[in-house]
Structure 1
């Protein structure tokens, strides 16, 4: 019978390494996701074809991403 136990040192260390939760920023997150998707789809013609997305669509998405970042920066300042 294989049973694993957690050492007390590990549980203590884990509890003390807890990070504080950062405040969610929906616009910044959306901009990051758009950027990631644009980079992935730009590099993969097969994925673009399967999704029915053109390079023009990716360009338009990048403009939206920039607007999100610009709007987010003006509302924070």
Structure 2
């Protein structure tokens, strides 16, 4: 999920996607949000919170994209992930 989030954000910022590695060139607020999706420790609550943050960031990034959008099936899949 994080990889797809990065790729869609790179597209949103008109970066070339082929072997994109210039993560530090992305919007600083996105980088902060992205890094906050990593859990600080490994326990069920922290991991669940991390998963919610990743999905939320993915949804936000996808909303800003002109090529991709959230369809019903993808939304259902993301909802199942949090159950």
Same fold (TM over 0.5): no
- Decide which structure has greater helix share: 1
Question: Over alpha carbons, which structure has the higher Rg?
Answer: 1
TM-score by length of 1: 0.32
TM-score by length of 2: 0.30
